[in-house]
Structure 1
Amino acid sequence: MTEATAPEDGAAPLRILLLEDSDLDAELLEAALEDARLACAIERVIARDAFAAATARGGHDIILADYVLPAFDGMAALAMARATCPEIPFVFVSGTLGEDVAVEALKHGATDYVTKQRLDRLPRVVLRALSEARAHVLRRAAEQALRDVNESLEQRVAERTRELAEANAALQHQIGERERVEGALRQAQRLEAVGQLTSGVAHDFNNLLTVIAGNIEFLERAVADERSKRRLDMMRGAAERGARLTAQLLAFSRRQKLAPVPVQLNQTVASMRDLLQSSMGGSVRIEMTLQPDLWPALVDATQIELIILNLAINARDAMAVGGCLTIETANVRLKAEPSRPEEPNPGEYAMVAVSDTGTGIPADVLARVFEPFFTTKEVGKGSGLGLAQVYGFAKQSGGGVRIDTRVGEGTSVRVYLPRVVAEAALPEARPAEIDCAAFRDPGDQRVVLVVDDDGAVREITVTRLGEAGYAIREASSGLAAIQALEADPCVDLAVLDFAMPGMNGVEVATVIRSRWPQIEILFVTGYADHTALSQVDAGGEDRVVQKPFRGEDLERKVAEILKPRPRPELKLVTGGAARR
C-alpha cells in the first residue's frame, strides 16, 4: 500500500462523522489523528436517528464507525450510509472486529477497517481512504466527461449524417427533377418536331387537294356523260376525305383556324347527353358532375364538342359492359409548373374531364398517346389522331391536357380551357341557319350520303346509286358523316352501314334524327339488331337493305324513300359534332 500524506498547512480540516458510543474511545481516536497532525472537525453521534440525520444532511469527508453499538450495529450503519451517501468513505474502528466480519463488511461496501488496539494505523487508513475517494471521484468525472464527449460526438456524427442524407436527398431530387424536365423537354421537342412535320405535310397536301378539287370542278363543266360525272363525284369525295384528314393534322400541329367565343361548358355538356348516350349504347352508364358557378371558357364552340365526344368514344372503347362514363366540369386554379408538355401552365381554367372505369393506360403507352397516328387499337378501329387532336386544340386554345390513369381501374382525361376574364352575361349562341331551298333547283338530283367504313363496299353502293341518278356524298365513319353534315346539311337520304368502328349506324342515325330530322335514314347491313333499329324509328324492313344486295332492292328502297312528294321549305340548323 502507498503511504498517505497529511494535508498541507492551511488546508480545510477533515470533516469526520464519528459513530461511537464510548467517550474514552472517541478521545483516543481523536488523539491518534492529532498526533498525526491531521486537522479534523469531528461530529460525533451515537443513536440511529442522529446518524441517519447526519448522513442525510451530508457535508462529511469520511465516516468512522464502531461495529458494536447499543441498540444499533455497524452493518446497519454501513447499509444506511451506502444508501444515503455512497460516495463518502466508510471505515470501521472496532475492538471486536474479527477477520471474517471484516471481510463481510468490505463485501458490503466498507472502505477499510482499523482495530482499536492499533489506532496508530488510523491516520494512514483515513488518508488512504480519502485519496481513494478523491481518485474515485476524479475517475467518475473523467468517465462522465468521456461519456459526454462520446454523446456529443455521436450527436455530431448523427447531425452530420442527417445533413449528408438531406444533401443527398436534395441532390437526388435535383437529379430526378432534371431528368423529368429533360424528359419533358425531349417530349415537347418531339411533339413540336412532329407538329412541324405534320403541319408541313398538311399544308402541301392541302395544296395538292386544292389542285385536284379545282380540276375536278373544271372537268365537271366539260364532261357531259353521266358515267364520267359519277367518277368525278367519287374523286371529289376522296378529296374531301383527304381535306378532313389534313384538318386533324392541323389540329395536332396547332395550325387549325379557331373561332374562340365565350362558351358555357355546362350547357355544352348537358346538351350532349342524348348524343353521348346514343354513342355509348346501353352498355355504359353516363354520369355528369357539373359545377354550378363554372367560369365561361374562351374556346371554339364546335371544336369543344368534337373533343368531348372524341374522348367519350375513346372511353367507351376502353370499358367493358357495365362501365361508367363520368363527365365533370370545375373551376381550377393551377400554381405548379407543368411536368409534361401537354399540361397547362399556371393560371385559371374552366376544366372539363372525361373519366372511365376501363383498363387504364400502361406507362409506355401513356408516354406516346398524344403522338399522331399512334394507336393501340386494331387496324381499322382507330386513326391514332383522336388524342393528338385533343392535344392540339387544347394547346392552341391556350390551355392544356392532363391524363390520370391506373392500369385496371380507369382513366381520366382533363382538358383545361382558358376562362373568360370578363364574366359578363353571355348571350346564348344560336347556330347558323341554312336555307337548303335557296341552293336547290326543283330539277336538281336528290343528294344521298353513303356512310360505310369498308371502302370496297362503299364504292359498290356509291356506284349503284350514282348510276340510279342520285348525287352522292361519301363518309368512311360515323364521325366523318356528322362532320360532313355540319359542313353541308342539305342531304335528302343517309345510307348507313350498321356495323362500323367508333359510332355504329344506329348511333349516327340518332344524331341525325336529333339534329337534322329532315334527313331520311336507310340502313345497309349484313346483320342488324332490330331492337337497336327501333330506337331510331327506322321504319321496319323498308328502311333496311341486306348485304349482299339482291337485284334492285337497294335502288327500289331508295326510290321509295325519295319519291316525289310535297316538300316544305326547310331551314336546317348546323351545330357542333365530333370526329375521331
Structure 2
Amino acid sequence: MERLSAGPLHILLLEDSDLDAELLGAVLDDAGLVHRIDRVMTRDAFAAAARTCGHDLVLADYVLPTFDGLAALALARDLCPATPFVFVSGTLGEDVAVEALKGGATDYVTKQRLDRLPRVIARALAEARAHAERRSAEGALREVNETLEARVAERTRALAEANAELKRQIEERERVEEALRQAQRLEAVGQLTSGVAHDFNNLLTVIAGNIEFLERVVPDDRSRRRLDMMRGAAERGARLTAQLLAFSRRQRLEPKPVQLNQTVASMRDLLQSSIGGAVRIEMTLQPDLWSALVDATQIELIILNLAINARDAMAVGGCLTIETANVHLTAPPARPEEPAAGDYVMVAVSDTGTGIRPEVLARVFEPFFTTKEVGKGSGLGLAQVFGFAKQSGGGVRIDTVVGEGTSVKVYLPRVAAGTRAPEVPRAGTDGAAPRAPGDRPVVLVVDDDGAVREITVTKLSEAGYEIREAGSGLAALQAIALDPRVDLVVLDFAMPGMNGAEVAVEIRRRWPGMPYLFVTGYADHAALAIDGAVGEDRIVQKPFRDGELEGKAAAILNARTGPSLRLVSSRPAG
C-alpha cells in the first residue's frame, strides 16, 4: 500500500536513541513537513509495522542493539517493497552506503548532515511516486495487452466462424446449382425423350398397322416371314418406347396399396435363380412396414432390374442385400432424383461390388448412358427406375463407395395412416380374347440370340401362329405384363440375366395358366425339371428336327381347354 497522498507524512522510524529521534522530528518541523512518526526499536516491532505497508517512508538507523540496518532493509524490501527506505546514521561509511544502495535503499543521510534530510525525503517520495505511476502504467499496459489479445482472439474466432459459414454457404450454393443443372438436364432429356417416344409410337402404329394390312393380302410364306420380322422389330421398338416413357414419367401406372415385405419375400427364389448361386442374398425387412402406394407389377420389375445390375457389379460371389424400412425425411433433396421431405416406404438393393465412380454417378440416370459393353445393356435400367420412382411420387438415392459397393434406395409414397394393403388376389385378366374361326394363336418367342430366334420365329410363323418376340427374360416379363394375351411362351434356356427356367418360374407364379415350351442346346434336360412340371413334351432340342418344334407347340395349344386363357395370380397383391 502506497501513502503518497497530500495528508500528513506517515513515517516509520527505526531508532534506539531518544535524542536522535527528537532531533529528526525537529528537522522535519523546521522544514515545514507535516508528519506523523511511528517509532520502533526492535526487529519484531519493525516487522509488525512494516507488514502493514501503511507508511509513506522508512527512516532507519544503521547500528541497532538487536540487529543492523541491512537486516532491517532486507526485511522492509520483503514486507513493503514499494515504501522508500532511507538510512539516517552517524556511522555509515562510504562502503556501507554503497552496499545499502545496492540492497535497495533509496538514499542515506548522515546524522552530521541532517539539514539534507528534507531534500532526501522529497526526492525519495518523488521517486516512489514515479515508481508507483510506472507500475500503474505497466499494469494498465498489461491489462490492455491482455484484453487486446482476448479481443484479437475473439475477433479471430468470429472471423473464422464467418469464413466457415461463408464457405458452407458457397458449398451449399454450388451444390444447389449443380442439383439444379442436373435437374434441368434430366428434365430437358425427359421432355426430348417423351417427345421422341410419342412420335416413335406414332410411327410404330403406322408400321404395325400396315404390316397387319399387308398380311391379309400377301400370299407367299417368304413375304409373310419378312412381315413377321418387321412386326417383331416394331414390338421391340414399342418396348423401347415404354422404357423411354418410364424415364420421362409418362408410363401408365396403376398405384395400389402394396405390402412390400410380401413382395420382396415372394421374390427370393426368382432373385436367387436370376443372380446365381454364387451370390448370397440377405433380406432385412422392417416389421410393421407401412403400405406403399405403388404399381405392384412395376415395382417387382424394378427390384429384379436392380438385383441383376447389382450382380453385374460383383465380379465373383458377393452379397446382395434387400432392405425395407419406414423413412421420414426432413432434409431437402440434394440431387434431382432424390425425394422431397416426407414419409416414404423405402426398398434398397445393395451389393458388395465395385462401386460407382463420381463421374459415372453424375450420369447414371441419363437414358442410354451405360458403362457396359456394346450389346450388354441399353442404358435405360436406372433411367426407368428414376422415372418410375418420380412418377410414383417418390425418388431414388444412390450411396456408393468405389471398391466397396453400392446401395440403390427407392423411396415410395406411403399409404395414408390407418389404410392397410388388401390381401386379395389380383383381378382376373383374360389372356387371349375369344377367337373367331381362323384367328391365329399368339406365341411369344424368347431368345437372346437374334439369329436363332429368327429360325424359331420363322418355323412357328410358317406353322400359322402370330408371333411376338423378346430378347431376354426380363423383356419377356415386361411384354406379358403390358399385354398378357399370349397363348404359348417359347423359352430359350441359356440366356444371360434370367435363363429360361427362371422366366418360367416367374410366369407360373404370375400367370399360372400360361403354358411354355423350352428350346435348348443342352443334352441334359434335368436342369429344366422345375418342381417336376416339365417333361419331354415341353422340351425341344437344338438343332430342331423337322416338325418337332411345330408339333410340340401344336400339342400344347390343342390341349388347352376353351378358347380363352384365364390369368389369375395365385398370390396376394404386393
With normalisation by structure 2, the TM-score equals 0.89
Q: 1:382-393 residue pairs with structure 2 within 5 A? A: 382-393=377-388
- The DSSP-based 3-state class of the residue aligned with 2:308 is helix
Question: Which one of 296, 312, 315 corresponds to residue 317 of structure 1?
Answer: 312
Distance of 1:113 and 1:52 partners within structure 2: 21
- Residue 421 of structure 1 pairs with residue 416 of structure 2: yes
- Residue 488 of structure 1 pairs with residue 484 of structure 2: yes
Q: 1:60-209 residue pairs with structure 2 within 5 A? A: 60-209=55-204
Change in CA separation of 1:180 and 1:425 when aligned onto 2, cut-off 3 Å: closer
2:290 maps to amino acid: W
Equivalent residue number for residue 4 of structure 1: none
Show CA shifts across 1:188-207 (max 9, x none). 11111111111010000101
Contact 1:350/1:419 (CA < 8 Å) preserved in 2?
Answer: yes
What residue ranges of structure 1 are gaps of 5+ in the alignment?
A: 1-6
Change in CA separation of 1:562 and 1:134 when aligned onto 2, cut-off 3 Å: same
- Residue 342 of structure 1 pairs with residue 334 of structure 2: no
Contact 1:343/1:401 (CA < 8 Å) preserved in 2?
Answer: yes
- The DSSP-based 3-state class of the residue aligned with 2:288 is coil
Distance of 1:514 and 1:417 partners within structure 2: 24
Compute the displacement of 1:447 (Å): 5.3
- The DSSP-based 3-state class of the residue aligned with 1:243 is helix
Question: Which one of 6, 22, 29 corresponds to residue 24 of structure 2?
Answer: 29
1:306 maps to amino acid: L
Compute the displacement of 1:520 (Å): 3.4
Question: Which one of 288, 301, 305 corresponds to residue 296 of structure 2?
Answer: 301
Distance of 1:224 and 1:174 partners within structure 2: 73
Contact 1:489/1:572 (CA < 8 Å) preserved in 2?
Answer: no
1:112 maps to amino acid: D
Change in CA separation of 1:505 and 1:48 when aligned onto 2, cut-off 3 Å: farther
Change in CA separation of 1:92 and 1:568 when aligned onto 2, cut-off 3 Å: farther
Distance of 1:273 and 1:442 partners within structure 2: 43
Question: Which one of 405, 411, 433 corresponds to residue 410 of structure 1?
Answer: 405
Question: Which one of 262, 265, 269 corresponds to residue 267 of structure 1?
Answer: 262
- The DSSP-based 3-state class of the residue aligned with 1:68 is coil
- Residue 367 of structure 1 pairs with residue 362 of structure 2: yes
Q: 1:449-464 residue pairs with structure 2 within 5 A? A: 449-464=444-459
Show CA shifts across 1:71-113 (max 9, x none). 3233332222222221111222233333333333333322222
- The DSSP-based 3-state class of the residue aligned with 1:17 is strand
- The DSSP-based 3-state class of the residue aligned with 2:373 is coil
- The DSSP-based 3-state class of the residue aligned with 1:282 is coil
Compute the displacement of 1:291 (Å): 2.0
Equivalent residue number for residue 254 of structure 1: 249
Distance of 2:539 and 2:191 partners within structure 1: 46
- The DSSP-based 3-state class of the residue aligned with 2:387 is helix
Comparing 189-198 and 343-352, the one that deviates more? 343-352
- The DSSP-based 3-state class of the residue aligned with 1:482 is helix
- The DSSP-based 3-state class of the residue aligned with 1:344 is coil
Contact 1:498/1:528 (CA < 8 Å) preserved in 2?
Answer: no
Equivalent residue number for residue 474 of structure 1: 469
Distance of 2:109 and 2:533 partners within structure 1: 127
Compute the displacement of 1:434 (Å): 4.0
RMSD: 3.0
Distance of 2:387 and 2:16 partners within structure 1: 109
Number of aligned pairs?
563
Compute the displacement of 1:318 (Å): 1.1
Contact 2:425/2:568 (CA < 8 Å) preserved in 1?
Answer: no
Distance of 2:71 and 2:546 partners within structure 1: 125
Question: Which one of 274, 277, 281 corresponds to residue 276 of structure 2?
Answer: 281
What residue ranges of structure 2 are gaps of 5+ in the alignment?
A: none
Show CA shifts across 1:90-149 (max 9, x none). 222233333333333333322222233332222222211111110011111122222333
Distance of 1:67 and 1:538 partners within structure 2: 129
Change in CA separation of 1:555 and 1:378 when aligned onto 2, cut-off 3 Å: farther
Show CA shifts across 1:137-185 (max 9, x none). 1111122222333333444444344333333333333332222222211
- The DSSP-based 3-state class of the residue aligned with 2:253 is coil
Distance of 1:475 and 1:335 partners within structure 2: 43
Change in CA separation of 1:562 and 1:92 when aligned onto 2, cut-off 3 Å: farther
Q: Percent identity?
A: 74
Change in CA separation of 1:427 and 1:574 when aligned onto 2, cut-off 3 Å: closer
Contact 1:448/1:495 (CA < 8 Å) preserved in 2?
Answer: no
Contact 1:403/1:413 (CA < 8 Å) preserved in 2?
Answer: yes
2:132 maps to amino acid: V
With normalisation by structure 1, the TM-score equals 0.88
2:491 maps to amino acid: V
Distance of 2:22 and 2:517 partners within structure 1: 136
